[in-house]
Amino acid sequence: MKSIFIYETKIGRIAIAEENNAITEVLFYNEEKEINCQKNLKETHLIKEGYNQIQEYLSGKRKIFNLPLALKGTEFQLKVWNALKTIPYGETRSYKDIAILINREKAARAVGMANNRNPISIIIPCHRVIGSNGKLVGYGGGLNIKEYLLKLETSLH
């Protein structure tokens, strides 16, 4: 059974979900219109560990997450999300860079759509993907949070 718990962080409220001993979602609470918390609201050990690791990341004490993840998506989305995990802390890549990395050079727009559907924000660092012109574009938590996370990483890199 899926469990979910909501936490307050310095970047706003986040919801962390777990199912079958793996993190399935890290969402900015305001991005999800209907999180059915009433019947699934439960802080499990793994959800709490996910929260602790995110707090360590936000305070500059953690650069790499060590949590079991369970991703559900299309084959293309899974390739994109796995590619995102290879972007080093403190660095960015463009959507085109990710498209090339997954051998789909002309699929930068599709990479953007997959990036937008990343279910495990922060831990799978979709915030590290920027436009080819170097501009910040799109982020589920808002561009101000994307900018905050990138500045956090570059200041500690």
Active-site positions read: 126
Give the span between the Cα atoms of 133 and 29, in whole angstroms. 30
Give the span between the Cα atoms of 118 and 129, in whole angstroms. 12
Give the span between the Cα atoms of 5 and 153, in whole angstroms. 26
Which amino acid is located at 108 in the chain? A
Give the span between the Cα atoms of 1 and 40, in whole angstroms. 8
Which amino acid is located at 8 in the chain? E
